[in-house]
Amino acid sequence: MASIMTNAAALTALQSLNATNKALETTQGRISTGYRVATASDNAAYWSIATSMRSDNQALSAVQDALGLGAGKVDTAYTAITQIKDQVDAIKTKLVTARGASQDNQQKIATEIKAIQDQIKSSVTNASYAGSNLLRNDGTTASDLQIVASYNRTGTTVSIDTITVKSADTQVLDVAGTGGIVGGLLATGFFDPSAAAVSDANIDTALASVETALAKLSTGAAYLGAAKSRIDTQKSFLSNLSDSIDKGVGALVDADMNKESTRLQALQVQQQLGIQALSIANGNSQSILALFKS
Protein backbone atom coordinates (compact mmCIF):
# COMPACT_ATOMS: atom_id res chain seq x y z
CA MET A 1 0.00 0.00 0.00
CA ALA A 2 1.31 3.42 -1.00
CA SER A 3 0.86 6.10 1.66
CA ILE A 4 1.67 9.80 1.70
CA MET A 5 1.62 9.83 5.52
CA THR A 6 4.07 7.04 6.21
CA ASN A 7 6.98 6.05 4.01
CA ALA A 8 7.56 2.53 5.32
CA ALA A 9 10.34 1.81 2.85
CA ALA A 10 12.23 4.94 3.87
CA LEU A 11 11.87 4.08 7.58
CA THR A 12 13.17 0.57 6.99
CA ALA A 13 16.06 1.88 4.95
CA LEU A 14 16.86 4.48 7.62
CA GLN A 15 16.86 1.88 10.41
CA SER A 16 19.18 -0.33 8.39
CA LEU A 17 21.47 2.61 7.66
CA ASN A 18 21.59 3.61 11.34
CA ALA A 19 22.52 0.05 12.32
CA THR A 20 25.25 0.01 9.71
CA ASN A 21 26.58 3.38 10.87
CA LYS A 22 26.67 2.16 14.48
CA ALA A 23 28.55 -1.02 13.53
CA LEU A 24 30.88 1.07 11.38
CA GLU A 25 31.57 3.40 14.31
CA THR A 26 32.37 0.42 16.54
CA THR A 27 34.73 -1.08 13.97
CA GLN A 28 36.48 2.23 13.37
CA GLY A 29 36.95 2.61 17.13
CA ARG A 30 38.52 -0.82 17.37
CA ILE A 31 40.88 -0.05 14.50
CA SER A 32 41.88 3.33 15.90
CA THR A 33 42.47 2.07 19.49
CA GLY A 34 43.58 -1.47 18.70
CA TYR A 35 41.20 -2.79 21.37
CA ARG A 36 38.11 -4.93 21.05
CA VAL A 37 37.34 -4.09 24.69
CA ALA A 38 38.51 -0.54 25.35
CA THR A 39 36.02 0.44 28.06
CA ALA A 40 33.84 -1.32 30.60
CA SER A 41 30.80 -0.72 28.40
CA ASP A 42 32.35 -2.91 25.67
CA ASN A 43 32.54 -5.98 27.94
CA ALA A 44 32.47 -5.38 31.68
CA ALA A 45 33.86 -8.80 32.68
CA TYR A 46 36.79 -8.79 30.27
CA TRP A 47 37.56 -5.14 31.00
CA SER A 48 37.66 -5.83 34.76
CA ILE A 49 39.95 -8.83 34.35
CA ALA A 50 42.26 -6.96 31.99
CA THR A 51 42.44 -3.95 34.32
CA SER A 52 43.41 -6.14 37.29
CA MET A 53 46.02 -8.03 35.30
CA ARG A 54 47.54 -4.81 33.97
CA SER A 55 47.79 -3.53 37.55
CA ASP A 56 49.53 -6.75 38.61
CA ASN A 57 51.90 -6.42 35.67
CA GLN A 58 52.86 -2.92 36.78
CA ALA A 59 53.67 -4.35 40.21
CA LEU A 60 55.78 -7.07 38.55
CA SER A 61 57.61 -4.37 36.63
CA ALA A 62 58.45 -2.66 39.94
CA VAL A 63 59.68 -6.00 41.29
CA GLN A 64 61.94 -6.40 38.26
CA ASP A 65 63.36 -2.94 38.94
CA ALA A 66 64.00 -3.93 42.56
CA LEU A 67 65.71 -7.12 41.42
CA GLY A 68 67.87 -5.11 39.02
CA LEU A 69 68.95 -2.80 41.84
CA GLY A 70 69.59 -5.76 44.14
CA ALA A 71 71.56 -7.52 41.42
CA GLY A 72 73.82 -4.48 41.12
CA LYS A 73 74.52 -4.52 44.86
CA VAL A 74 75.15 -8.26 44.98
CA ASP A 75 77.29 -8.29 41.81
CA THR A 76 79.45 -5.47 43.16
CA ALA A 77 79.92 -7.21 46.51
CA TYR A 78 80.63 -10.57 44.85
CA THR A 79 83.28 -9.07 42.57
CA ALA A 80 84.95 -7.30 45.49
CA ILE A 81 84.90 -10.24 47.91
CA THR A 82 86.38 -12.51 45.22
CA GLN A 83 89.18 -10.02 44.66
CA ILE A 84 89.75 -9.71 48.42
CA LYS A 85 90.01 -13.48 48.68
CA ASP A 86 92.72 -13.40 46.01
CA GLN A 87 94.52 -10.68 47.96
CA VAL A 88 94.40 -12.73 51.17
CA ASP A 89 95.75 -15.68 49.17
CA ALA A 90 98.64 -13.40 48.19
CA ILE A 91 99.29 -12.62 51.87
CA LYS A 92 99.32 -16.36 52.54
CA THR A 93 101.95 -16.87 49.85
CA LYS A 94 104.07 -14.04 51.26
CA LEU A 95 103.91 -15.48 54.76
CA VAL A 96 105.01 -18.90 53.55
CA THR A 97 107.92 -17.24 51.74
CA ALA A 98 108.85 -15.34 54.91
CA ARG A 99 109.08 -18.49 57.01
CA GLY A 100 112.75 -19.16 57.62
CA ALA A 101 113.86 -16.16 55.52
CA SER A 102 116.47 -13.68 56.61
CA GLN A 103 115.55 -10.54 58.54
CA ASP A 104 116.27 -8.45 55.48
CA ASN A 105 113.99 -10.54 53.26
CA GLN A 106 111.28 -10.60 55.90
CA GLN A 107 111.38 -6.82 56.00
CA LYS A 108 110.85 -6.69 52.23
CA ILE A 109 108.00 -9.19 52.48
CA ALA A 110 106.42 -7.11 55.24
CA THR A 111 106.44 -4.11 52.88
CA GLU A 112 104.68 -6.17 50.22
CA ILE A 113 102.11 -7.42 52.72
CA LYS A 114 101.46 -3.83 53.86
CA ALA A 115 100.68 -2.89 50.24
CA ILE A 116 98.26 -5.81 49.98
CA GLN A 117 96.58 -4.78 53.25
CA ASP A 118 96.05 -1.29 51.86
CA GLN A 119 94.58 -2.74 48.68
CA ILE A 120 92.15 -4.87 50.71
CA LYS A 121 90.93 -1.76 52.55
CA SER A 122 90.48 0.00 49.23
CA SER A 123 88.57 -2.94 47.76
CA VAL A 124 86.17 -2.98 50.71
CA THR A 125 85.63 0.78 50.60
CA ASN A 126 84.98 0.79 46.86
CA ALA A 127 82.51 -2.11 46.96
CA SER A 128 79.61 0.36 47.08
CA TYR A 129 76.57 0.40 44.81
CA ALA A 130 73.67 2.87 45.05
CA GLY A 131 74.86 3.92 48.50
CA SER A 132 74.96 0.33 49.78
CA ASN A 133 78.09 -1.62 50.74
CA LEU A 134 77.48 -5.24 51.68
CA LEU A 135 81.10 -5.79 52.71
CA ARG A 136 81.52 -2.92 55.15
CA ASN A 137 79.77 -2.18 58.42
CA ASP A 138 79.40 1.58 58.58
CA GLY A 139 79.23 1.61 62.36
CA THR A 140 75.47 1.41 62.69
CA THR A 141 73.47 -1.68 63.52
CA ALA A 142 74.11 -4.17 60.76
CA SER A 143 71.02 -5.07 58.75
CA ASP A 144 70.44 -7.79 56.19
CA LEU A 145 69.83 -6.86 52.56
CA GLN A 146 66.20 -7.57 51.62
CA ILE A 147 65.56 -7.69 47.88
CA VAL A 148 61.92 -7.73 46.74
CA ALA A 149 61.62 -10.82 44.55
CA SER A 150 57.92 -11.32 43.82
CA TYR A 151 54.42 -9.84 44.13
CA ASN A 152 51.67 -12.35 44.79
CA ARG A 153 47.96 -11.50 44.83
CA THR A 154 44.99 -13.74 45.54
CA GLY A 155 41.86 -11.65 45.47
CA THR A 156 42.60 -8.82 47.89
CA THR A 157 45.30 -10.77 49.75
CA VAL A 158 48.83 -9.70 48.84
CA SER A 159 52.19 -11.18 49.80
CA ILE A 160 55.71 -10.14 48.83
CA ASP A 161 58.67 -12.53 48.82
CA THR A 162 62.24 -11.37 49.31
CA ILE A 163 65.77 -12.62 48.70
CA THR A 164 67.86 -12.08 51.84
CA VAL A 165 71.61 -11.54 52.02
CA LYS A 166 72.72 -11.78 55.65
CA SER A 167 75.17 -9.13 56.74
CA ALA A 168 76.91 -11.54 59.10
CA ASP A 169 77.99 -13.65 56.13
CA THR A 170 79.32 -10.84 53.94
CA GLN A 171 80.78 -8.07 56.12
CA VAL A 172 84.50 -8.18 55.46
CA LEU A 173 85.47 -5.13 57.49
CA ASP A 174 83.97 -2.64 59.94
CA VAL A 175 84.30 1.12 59.87
CA ALA A 176 87.11 1.01 62.42
CA GLY A 177 89.09 -1.40 60.25
CA THR A 178 89.59 -3.89 63.08
CA GLY A 179 86.46 -6.07 62.88
CA GLY A 180 84.85 -8.26 60.27
CA ILE A 181 86.33 -11.19 58.38
CA VAL A 182 89.69 -9.56 57.59
CA GLY A 183 89.96 -7.04 60.43
CA GLY A 184 92.60 -9.10 62.20
CA LEU A 185 94.68 -9.43 59.04
CA LEU A 186 94.83 -5.66 58.65
CA ALA A 187 95.81 -4.91 62.24
CA THR A 188 99.01 -2.94 62.77
CA GLY A 189 101.88 -5.31 63.39
CA PHE A 190 100.12 -8.35 61.89
CA PHE A 191 103.43 -9.09 60.18
CA ASP A 192 106.00 -6.37 60.87
CA PRO A 193 109.59 -7.49 61.60
CA SER A 194 110.56 -3.88 62.38
CA ALA A 195 108.27 -3.89 65.44
CA ALA A 196 109.21 -7.28 66.84
CA ALA A 197 111.31 -10.29 65.99
CA VAL A 198 109.45 -12.68 63.69
CA SER A 199 109.64 -16.37 64.50
CA ASP A 200 108.40 -19.35 62.55
CA ALA A 201 105.80 -19.83 65.30
CA ASN A 202 104.52 -16.29 64.78
CA ILE A 203 104.27 -16.88 61.06
CA ASP A 204 102.36 -20.12 61.68
CA THR A 205 99.91 -18.19 63.89
CA ALA A 206 99.47 -15.59 61.16
CA LEU A 207 98.89 -18.33 58.58
CA ALA A 208 96.19 -19.84 60.79
CA SER A 209 94.44 -16.45 60.87
CA VAL A 210 94.73 -16.24 57.11
CA GLU A 211 93.17 -19.68 56.66
CA THR A 212 90.28 -18.72 58.94
CA ALA A 213 89.71 -15.56 56.94
CA LEU A 214 89.90 -17.44 53.64
CA ALA A 215 87.27 -19.93 54.81
CA LYS A 216 84.91 -17.12 55.80
CA LEU A 217 85.57 -15.22 52.57
CA SER A 218 84.78 -18.36 50.58
CA THR A 219 81.55 -18.79 52.51
CA GLY A 220 80.62 -15.16 51.96
CA ALA A 221 81.37 -15.40 48.25
CA ALA A 222 79.28 -18.59 48.06
CA TYR A 223 76.30 -16.84 49.70
CA LEU A 224 76.61 -13.87 47.35
CA GLY A 225 76.97 -16.18 44.35
CA ALA A 226 73.85 -18.11 45.36
CA ALA A 227 71.92 -14.84 45.79
CA LYS A 228 73.17 -13.64 42.41
CA SER A 229 72.04 -16.86 40.75
CA ARG A 230 68.60 -16.69 42.38
CA ILE A 231 68.17 -13.04 41.36
CA ASP A 232 69.06 -13.84 37.75
CA THR A 233 66.65 -16.78 37.71
CA GLN A 234 63.84 -14.72 39.23
CA LYS A 235 64.42 -11.86 36.78
CA SER A 236 64.14 -14.28 33.87
CA PHE A 237 61.00 -15.88 35.34
CA LEU A 238 59.28 -12.52 35.95
CA SER A 239 60.12 -11.38 32.43
CA ASN A 240 58.48 -14.49 30.98
CA LEU A 241 55.54 -14.17 33.39
CA SER A 242 54.99 -10.54 32.40
CA ASP A 243 55.00 -11.53 28.73
CA SER A 244 52.45 -14.28 29.45
CA ILE A 245 50.17 -11.83 31.25
CA ASP A 246 50.42 -9.39 28.34
CA LYS A 247 49.46 -12.18 25.95
CA GLY A 248 46.54 -13.22 28.15
CA VAL A 249 45.24 -9.67 28.40
CA GLY A 250 45.68 -9.23 24.66
CA ALA A 251 43.60 -12.34 23.97
CA LEU A 252 40.77 -10.82 26.02
CA VAL A 253 40.72 -7.23 24.81
CA ASP A 254 42.86 -6.76 21.68
CA ALA A 255 41.15 -6.33 18.34
CA ASP A 256 41.91 -8.68 15.45
CA MET A 257 43.09 -6.05 12.98
CA ASN A 258 42.77 -8.34 9.95
CA LYS A 259 39.19 -9.17 10.88
CA GLU A 260 38.28 -5.58 11.71
CA SER A 261 39.84 -4.28 8.49
CA THR A 262 37.80 -6.72 6.42
CA ARG A 263 34.68 -5.84 8.40
CA LEU A 264 35.34 -2.12 7.85
CA GLN A 265 35.38 -2.55 4.09
CA ALA A 266 32.15 -4.57 4.17
CA LEU A 267 30.39 -2.01 6.35
CA GLN A 268 31.51 0.85 4.13
CA VAL A 269 29.88 -0.93 1.18
CA GLN A 270 26.73 -1.56 3.26
CA GLN A 271 26.68 2.12 4.22
CA GLN A 272 26.83 3.19 0.57
CA LEU A 273 24.05 0.74 -0.36
CA GLY A 274 21.98 1.91 2.60
CA ILE A 275 22.27 5.52 1.48
CA GLN A 276 21.18 4.48 -2.00
CA ALA A 277 18.26 2.48 -0.61
CA LEU A 278 17.12 5.45 1.48
CA SER A 279 17.44 7.71 -1.54
CA ILE A 280 15.32 5.33 -3.62
CA ALA A 281 12.68 5.10 -0.90
CA ASN A 282 12.49 8.88 -0.63
CA GLY A 283 12.35 9.08 -4.45
CA ASN A 284 9.30 6.81 -4.52
CA SER A 285 7.56 9.12 -2.06
CA GLN A 286 8.29 12.09 -4.31
CA SER A 287 6.77 10.16 -7.26
CA ILE A 288 3.50 9.70 -5.36
CA LEU A 289 3.33 13.42 -4.56
CA ALA A 290 3.93 14.19 -8.23
CA LEU A 291 0.80 12.28 -9.20
CA PHE A 292 -1.30 14.66 -7.10
CA LYS A 293 0.38 17.73 -8.61
CA SER A 294 -0.38 16.52 -12.11
Yes or no: say if 54 and 126 are a contact pair by the CB < 8 Å rule.
no
pTM over 0.95: no
Domain 51-219 classified CATH 1.20.1330?
Answer: yes
255, containing H or E segment: none
How would you write the pLDDT of the chain (294 residues) with one tens digit per residue? Answer: 455 555 666 677 678 777 777 877 777 878 888 888 888 888 899 999 999 999 999 999 999 999 999 999 999 999 999 999 999 999 999 999 999 899 899 999 999 999 999 999 999 999 999 988 999 877 665 678 999 999 998 888 999 999 999 988 899 998 888 889 999 999 878 888 888 778 888 899 999 999 999 999 999 999 999 999 999 999 999 999 999 999 999 988 888 888 878 887 877 877 787 777 667 767 665 555 454 555
* One-letter amino acid for residue 199 of the chain: S
Most distant pair of Cα atoms in the chain: their distance:
139
d(CA 165, CA 145): 5
Residue type, 158: V
d(CA 240, CA 81) in angstroms, rounded, equals 32
- Given a contact cutoff of 8 angstroms between Cβ atoms, the answer to whether 109 and 101 are in contact is yes
State the pLDDT at residue 1.
Answer: 46
Angle between helices 257-293 and 8-33 (to 10 degrees): 160
Nearest to 126 by CA among 140, 113, 139, 136: 136
Domains of the chain by residue range: 51-219
Per-residue pLDDT at 257: 82
pLDDT confidence of residue 65: 95
- Contacts of residue 159, defined as CB under 8 A and 6 or more positions apart, other chains included, come to 152
Residues in CB range of 252: below 8 A, 6 or more apart: 37, 46, 49, 50
